[in-house]
Amino acid sequence: MKFLDLAKVHVRSGGGGGGCVSFRREKFIEYGGPDGGDGGRGGDVWAVAVDGLNTLIDFRYQQHFFAKSGQPGMGKGRTGKDGDDVILRVPAGTEILDEDEETVIADLSDVGQKVLLARGGNGGWGNLQFKSATNQAPRRANSGQPGVERVLWLRLKLIADAGLAGLPNAGKSTFLAATSNARPKIADYPFTTLHPNLGVVAVDGREFVVADIPGLIEGASEGRGLGDRFLGHVERCAVLLQIVDGTSEDVAADYRVIDAELAAYSPVVAGKPRVVALNKADALDPEMLAEVRAALEAAAGQKVLVMSGVSGAGVTEVLRALWAEIAAARAAGEAEEDGPWRP
């Protein structure tokens, strides 16, 4: 299945049915009076976050979603049938934006959340509604309200606990493949990863989700390489794992490039807790490894973990460091939901 994280859709709710002008006509009943029914209500357009989806590819093949209009009222006081609703089924983590691509209408971050995108028009009143003591034979009825039509954007931000960041060929996909059930494409050329990948990682009996995004290069915030459009998929992560290639000529410069691109994209992303890992340690001798690690720690200003995605050395320690940050974030979120205790 192809990956698509941005889609444009056209939605329109149904219009209300018109009211009916009718009079009761039966044998031996004189002056039967008005009996025109009301029109049916137009259908709504909803968006619902469902389980089992992680792409918006369905909206590449269908962009128009029009709800049914209500049926007109009929004689003998019969109300027209309401129009059927239309439901857009989207993955959890989908943001719904207005046509300007900036105004957020809804953020469906959890399965089961739903939002009304376009409300159907009310049905018009039949002439039975206008009957009164002074107007016993009204010959008027209301037309139904028109539906609402709008253009919207769907933007998917994957739901993951940890996100991987690094330059192309830093070993992010190798790490994901070695630690999870994901099978990303791995090759020895830049930008092997062209779209985000998700994997479920287990450590010490606990599981969490890791997102691997295409590699960043200097100037990604200005559109170079694949740009920074995929960084939205790590906005919801509790922690970032920044992987640095230990065989690089200047690991400190590599770290600063990614750090600058994260800051240029969003202060929120740049401010997330970060675990820094020096990868491909199996390709370095102990003396060189110690020198490279010291240079990276000086640039990052924090402890650097050493690992090898190929051999698996040090990977468990990295996973434990990620879990510690994820557990802390979850505990903070639960405390915030519970609120302060009051006697």
Angstrom distance (rounded) from CA 122 to CA 15: 7
Annotated binding site: 166-173, 191-195, 212-215, 279-282, 308-310
DSSP 155: E
Annotated binding site for GTP: 166-173, 191-195, 212-215, 279-282, 308-310
Which strand (E) or helix (H) includes residue 278? strand 274-279
- The length of the chain is 343
Angstrom distance (rounded) from CA 332 to CA 335: 5
238: Cα within 13 Å, side-chain hemisphere: 18
Residue 62 CB coordination number (10 Å):
10
Closest CA to 4 of 58, 62, 84, 78: 58
Angstrom distance (rounded) from CA 201 to CA 203: 7
Which strand (E) or helix (H) includes residue 203? strand 197-203
φ/ψ (deg, to 5) at 233: -75, -10
Annotated binding site for Mg(2+): 173, 193
Close Cβ partners of 280 (under 8 Å, ≥ 6 residues apart): 171, 245, 246, 247, 308, 309, 310
User: Phi/psi class of residue 3: alpha, beta or left (left: φ > 0; alpha: ψ in -120 to 50)?
Assistant: beta
Which strand (E) or helix (H) includes residue 267? helix 267-270
